[in-house]
Amino acid sequence: MKELESLVENLKIKFNEENSEKKKEQDQVRKLEQTLEKEREEFRETIKTVPLRTRRSLQTAARPALQSSISLTFLPLRPSRAVENRSKYREAPPDQSQSHYGNIMYDRRVVRGNTYAQRILPTTTQAELAEMQKQQEQRRKAVAQRKAREQIRVRTPEALQGRQHTEVQTELYLEELSNIVMENDVQCQTDAFLDKPDTPLFIPAKSGVDATTQIEDGELFDFDREVQSVLEVLVGKVMEQSLLEVMEEEELACLRAQQRAFEERRDVQLTEVQKLQEQERRHTEEKKRRIAQQNEVLKKEKEIAEKIAARAYTQQYLANLVPSIFTSLRCHGFFVNTVQTDVETNFMPWLMNEISSSLDKRYDARSVLDDIIKERRPARERKTCCKLSRGTEAAKKILFLISKD
């Protein structure tokens, strides 16, 4: 009994240990799960408050200013620069004059691995800060509520002194509880594909009663007799159609022939017509030419008559012309006989002058003679003077003779 009790106690202790270990593990797991849940809730809450676009951008780390729901391009806020190496432990900050650039792949700050189960730091802004605080308060409340619930929750009371709680299976058959699952790997491989064989023709099973019938020659109809009417119709139609067509063609040919004959006659008549036209044209042209000729002749005759009349008139008009011209010219002194003029102008006046002078002389002589006579024989001699004067002619002669001498 005591041994049993001691065994039982040992077992209990072991169980307790195991249980405690398990509890610890479970607690750890639970804690981890709780933290995960918390984070998830936080993330979900933050995400829910943020609009869709920014959610996506948060998810894809796009620049908040250039947000298009479709594009996922990353545009840096600042110009890119190489990342400096940061040591594991803190150093005095102003010590470094030269910056060491390290390999970004081995930088502790670079997040590696899948990102869907990571903590995602939401971008904090003023508006969101308030939200953040609210969320934190909510979280605290939730935690507090959970704790409260946990406390209220009834658990199994603690074991009495000297006792241990063990977990025991109470079913009929004990089961080994373990997380390790018995696994068996079994493989199976099909054979290489063979061609599907042809499906056999489905011939349904015979059912019903067989019955036969056969139509012997001559039972249904007599082909030659029946076909005759059909043939007649066919051949008749064909013949009729062809006759119609041939007749049509014949008719057309007749029409064409008639048309041609007409056209030829027309052409022949046309020659006649054209010949007559030409003849007419020639005749009219000839007539025109002759009339024109005749007109010409008449015109010429008329012209000639006019010419003759004109000539006669001018002749008559100009008959007096020449003498009158001559006379006028002569009047104007154009036809000058120089000798004559000379004689007339010079000689004759001179002659006249001479004559007049000689006559004057004679007159003077006579008068002188008269005077003389008068002086010498005044009374009787006056008579004799008269006689003398009557006898002047003789005196003249004497004088003339005197003067001549």
- Does 270 bind other proteins (CB under 8 A)? Our answer is yes
Judged by beta carbon, residue 252 or residue 352, the one nearer other proteins is 252
Q: Which amino acid is at 101?
A: Y
* 52 within 8 A of 38, measured Cβ to Cβ: no
Q: Which of 11, 143, 253, 319 lies at the binding interface for other proteins (CB under 8 A)?
A: 253
* CA-based R_g, the chain, Å: 89
- Does 252 bind other proteins (CB under 8 A)? Our answer is yes
Q: What phi-psi label fits residue 107: left (phi over 0), alpha (psi between -120 and 50 degrees) or beta?
A: beta
**Beta carbon of residue 257, minimum distance to other proteins (angstroms, whole number):** 7
Q: Which of 226, 245, 301, 303 lies at the binding interface for other proteins (CB under 8 A)?
A: 245
Residue 5 CA to residue 292 CA, distance in Å, equals 175
User: Which residue has tokens 């007599």?
Assistant: 222
**Beta carbon of residue 56, minimum distance to other proteins (angstroms, whole number):** 51
Encoded tokens for 265: 């006659």
Judged by beta carbon, residue 17 or residue 248, the one nearer other proteins is 248
* 36 within 8 A of 24, measured Cβ to Cβ: no
- Does 83 bind other proteins (CB under 8 A)? Our answer is no
Q: Which of 21, 226, 249, 344 lies at the binding interface for other proteins (CB under 8 A)?
A: 249
Q: Which stretch binds other proteins (CB under 8 A): 10-18, 144-152, 213-221, 246-254?
A: 246-254
**Beta carbon of residue 264, minimum distance to other proteins (angstroms, whole number):** 5
- Does 278 bind other proteins (CB under 8 A)? Our answer is yes
Judged by beta carbon, residue 72 or residue 253, the one nearer other proteins is 253
**Beta carbon of residue 288, minimum distance to other proteins (angstroms, whole number):** 16
Q: How many residues bind other proteins, per CB under 8 A?
A: 22
Q: Which of 5, 69, 54, 42 minimizes the C-alpha distance to 131?
A: 42
**Beta carbon of residue 298, minimum distance to other proteins (angstroms, whole number):** 24
Residue 385 CA to residue 382 CA, distance in Å, equals 4
- Does 287 bind other proteins (CB under 8 A)? Our answer is no
Q: Which of 274, 284, 315, 320 lies at the binding interface for other proteins (CB under 8 A)?
A: 274
Judged by beta carbon, residue 257 or residue 368, the one nearer other proteins is 257
Q: Which stretch binds other proteins (CB under 8 A): 17-25, 183-191, 278-286, 369-377?
A: 278-286
- Does 230 bind other proteins (CB under 8 A)? Our answer is no
| Cβ-based neighbours of 159, under 8 Å, separated by 6 or more | 165
Judged by beta carbon, residue 245 or residue 344, the one nearer other proteins is 245
Q: What phi-psi label fits residue 315: left (phi over 0), alpha (psi between -120 and 50 degrees) or beta?
A: alpha
CB count within 10 Å of CB 58 equals 18
Q: Give how far the C-alpha of residue 143 lies from the chain's centroid of Cα atoms, to the nearest Å.
A: 76
- Does 228 bind other proteins (CB under 8 A)? Our answer is no
DSSP H stretches of helix in 320-347: 321-332, 338-341
Q: Tell me how many helices (H) and strands (E) the chain has.
A: 9, 0
Q: Which of 264, 280, 303, 364 lies at the binding interface for other proteins (CB under 8 A)?
A: 264
* 57 within 8 A of 64, measured Cβ to Cβ: yes
**Beta carbon of residue 278, minimum distance to other proteins (angstroms, whole number):** 5
- Does 61 bind other proteins (CB under 8 A)? Our answer is no
Residue 395 CA to residue 405 CA, distance in Å, equals 15
- Does 257 bind other proteins (CB under 8 A)? Our answer is yes
**Beta carbon of residue 255, minimum distance to other proteins (angstroms, whole number):** 9
Residue 256 CA to residue 258 CA, distance in Å, equals 5
**Beta carbon of residue 252, minimum distance to other proteins (angstroms, whole number):** 7
- Contacts with other proteins, residue ranges (CB under 8 A): 245, 249, 252-253, 256-257, 260-261, 263-265, 267-268, 270-272, 274-275, 277-279, 282
